[in-house]
Chains A and B, each alone.
Chain A
């Protein structure tokens, strides 16, 4: 298994541009989520999904859209980038109950560092 993968690793945007951060997992995890990490603030939940076709908002959803058309992929879209969205973005997924996993808590991807100028 490749685990949780994220692309790109780095991105620089100008204010007002849009882009999509990609997240994929090959572990058949139903639950996936997006967090942003800012200095001194830990990780804050942006959006999450409990399965294909089902998404919901987290703590800081404004300015971001998500969709979940497959179990494997959970892209995060920035509609009109703002400097306040400069952050490190992490995607995570969680195994379903009843499987052979050592833990049922969330596994994180390597992150995407986004700078908006």
Chain B
């Protein structure tokens, strides 16, 4: 079993829809959680990070962490064609810089 599980999709939604992305993890020692966005043939860029259970909002993006269920989510509101990308969840232990990644979910937002 992988440490971090993420449905690879692909996911195709119409413009304006809410995109919901999820990851589950097996090791409760993971405490710090990130979402990276990766456009085609580019490097991953940090989209959001959160270190506690609950919701964190940044514009159209909301990151949600449920440590009791070992489950994290990313929601994209009012999705735009420019949101079309692969979204990777990542997580790490406290005081350890190494990241464990999910496989990534490819999202296409149709105009």
Contacts and interface: CB of A to CB of B under 8 A. Distances in A.
Contact of B98 (A4, A33, A90, A110): A33
A64 interface: no
Contacts of B44: 43, 90, 108
Interface stretch (B11-19, B71-79, B99-107): B99-107
Interface of B: 4, 6, 8, 32, 34, 36, 41-46, 49, 88, 90, 97-99, 101-104
A48 B97 CA distance: 9
Contacts, number: 51
Contact of B46 (A41, A43, A105): A105
B88 A43 contact: yes
B98 A103 contact: no
Q: Chain A interface: which size bin?
A: 20 to 34
B36 to A, nearest CB: 8
Given A40-B8, A43-B44, A103-B46, 16 more contacts: A33-B97, A35-B101, A42-B4, A42-B88, A42-B104, A43-B88, A43-B99, A45-B99, A48-B97, A50-B97, A105-B34, A105-B46, A105-B99, A106-B46, A109-B43, A111-B41
